[in-house]
Amino acid sequence: MPLLIKRIPELSLLIFGTVAVYISIGLLSELNDTNILTADGAWALVVGSFLMSFVIAIVAVIGGVGGGVLFTPVMLGFTSMDSLLVRSTGLVVAMFSGLVSSGPFMRKGLADIRIVFYCAIPIIIGAMMGAQVAISMADSMGEAGDALVRLLLGFILVFIAVMFIMGGSKNEYPKRKFIDKISEKMNLTSAYYEESLGKNIYYQAVRVLPGGLLFLVVGFTGGFFGLGGGWAVVPVLNLVMTVPLKVSAASSGVLLAMGNAAAIWPYIMKGALIASFAAPWMLGQVVGGIIGAHVLSKINAGFVRNILIVLLLMTSVKLISRGIEGYFGIDVPIL
C-alpha cells in the first residue's frame, strides 16, 4: 500500500485531503443537535459513510460486482431511508469506482472502446428511462411505491445470488459458433494481450442486436433500482456476445460509468440526490476503486464472493419481507 500511494501521487493527495477534511469537520463542526441525531452522531455518520463506501469499493472490485449491488439493497433493507434517496446515492456508488478505473483499463488495452460505445447507446437510454420511471413512481405512489421497489429488488437479489452460486457459467475465451449478418457488418473485432498465456487473444463480438436489447433492460434496471448493472453486463458481453471474460469485465466498468452518468442527471435535477449525504460515498468509491484495482491480484476472490452471496441472500429476505409488509400490509416476522 505505501508503494501504491507513492506510485500514484494523486491518490496520496486525495487520501491526505480526505483525512484532513474529516478531522477538520470533527474539530470545527457547526452541526447542531437535533431530536434524531447529535452533532457528534452526524459527524460519525459522515465518516462512517466514507469508510463503508471505501470497503464496498474494494469488496466490489474483488467480488466482481458494482458497489450499487451492495449499497442499495443493504440501505433499503436495513434502514428507513427514502428509497428514491437511496437509489440516487446507489447510482453514485455504482458509477464512481467505474469512472476512476476507466483510465487504467483503457491504457492496459483491456476495455474495448468500440464495444463500449455500441453498448452504451441502449444502456444509456434504458438507464434514463429507469430513472424517470423511478422519480414518477415516487411522486405518484408514495410509500406504496417504496414498498413495491423493496419487494422487486428483493427478488432481483435472489436472482443475482443464484447466479453467483451457479458460478455464473463464465467462459474465459468463448468460441463463436456463427456470425450473424449485423455483427459481420459492424465488425466488432479486436485483440488484447493475455499476460498469463503470453499471447494475443483475438475475438469478435456477435449477436449484437440481442445484446443491444438486453442492455436496454440492464440499463433500465440500473437506473430504476440504483444498482448499476455489472452483475448483468458481464454475462451479456461474455455469454451472449462471446467477448472474452477479461475484456467483458473491464468494458463493463467503463460502460456502467457511462450509463449511470446519464441516469443520475434526472435525480440531481429533481433534488433527489442530496450532495452532503452522497459526498462521502462518492469519495469512498474514488479512493477505494483506485486501491481495489491494484490489490485485486493479492486477495482470494472466492472467499469474498462467498461473503457476498450470504449478504445478498440475507438482504433479499429482509427486502422481500419489508416489501410484503409495506405493500400488502401483511406482518412478516423475519429479522
Partner 1 sequence: MSDLKDDQPDNRAIETGNTEKRPPVSYAGIVYGDIIYWGTLAGAFVVLLGSVITFTTTNNYLDPSYMLSSLLDGKSVAEIWQGAEGIGAAPDGHWYLTVLGTGNGLTMLGIAMGVFSVTPAIFASAYFLFTDGDKLFATVAAVAGLITIYAMF
Of 176-184, 193-201, 300-308, 322-330, the segment contacting partner 1 by CB under 8 A is 193-201
Question: What residues from 287 to 326 belong to the interface with partner 1 (CB under 8 A)?
Answer: none
- Pick between residue 43 and residue 332 the one whose CB is nearest to partner 1: 43
- Pick between residue 186 and residue 299 the one whose CB is nearest to partner 1: 186
Q: In whole angstroms, what is the distance from residue 223 CA to residue 255 CA?
A: 13
φ, ψ (nearest 5 deg) of residue 192: -140, 160
Which residues are within 8 A (CB) of 19 and not within 5 positions of it... i.e. 6 or more apart?
A: none
Interface with partner 1 (CB under 8 A), residue from 57, 282, 311, 324: 282
Q: In whole angstroms, what is the distance from residue 208 CA to residue 300 CA?
A: 34
Give Rg (Cα) of the chain.
Answer: 20
- Pick between residue 202 and residue 328 the one whose CB is nearest to partner 1: 202
Question: What residues from 23 to 42 belong to the interface with partner 1 (CB under 8 A)?
Answer: 24-25, 28-37, 39, 42
Of 153-161, 170-178, 195-203, 309-317, the segment contacting partner 1 by CB under 8 A is 195-203
- Pick between residue 159 and residue 193 the one whose CB is nearest to partner 1: 193
Q: In whole angstroms, what is the distance from residue 249 CA to residue 192 CA?
A: 13
Minimum distance, C-beta of residue 145 to partner 1, in the bound complex (Å): 10
Which residues are within 8 A (CB) of 185 and not within 5 positions of it... i.e. 6 or more apart?
A: none
Minimum distance, C-beta of residue 223 to partner 1, in the bound complex (Å): 10
Q: Pattern 4-23, binding to partner 1, x per CB under 8 A?
A: ------x---x--xx--x--
Question: What residues from 68 to 107 belong to the interface with partner 1 (CB under 8 A)?
Answer: 79-82, 84-85, 92, 95-96, 99-100, 102-107
Question: What residues from 130 to 189 belong to the interface with partner 1 (CB under 8 A)?
Answer: 138-139, 142, 186
- Pick between residue 18 and residue 305 the one whose CB is nearest to partner 1: 18
| Cα atoms in the 13 Å half-sphere on the side-chain side of 106 | 12
- Pick between residue 98 and residue 160 the one whose CB is nearest to partner 1: 98
Residues 100 and 289: beta-carbon distance below 8 Å: yes
Residues 229 and 159: beta-carbon distance below 8 Å: no
- Pick between residue 100 and residue 237 the one whose CB is nearest to partner 1: 100
Total Cβ atoms within 10 A of residue 270? 15
Question: What residues from 239 to 268 belong to the interface with partner 1 (CB under 8 A)?
Answer: 254, 257-258, 261-266, 268
Burial of 12 (0-12, 13-18, 19+ CB in 10 A): middle
Minimum distance, C-beta of residue 302 to partner 1, in the bound complex (Å): 26
Closest to 157 in 3D by CA, of 304, 327, 305, 314: 314
Q: How many residues bind partner 1 (CB under 8 A)?
A: 88
Interface with partner 1 (CB under 8 A), residue from 56, 58, 286, 324: 286
Write b or e for each residue in 225-237: b if 16 or more Cβ atoms lie within 10 A of its Cβ, otherwise e: bbbbbbbbbbbbb
Burial of 8 (0-12, 13-18, 19+ CB in 10 A): middle
Minimum distance, C-beta of residue 163 to partner 1, in the bound complex (Å): 28
278 lies in the binding site for partner 1 (CB under 8 A): yes
- Pick between residue 74 and residue 262 the one whose CB is nearest to partner 1: 262
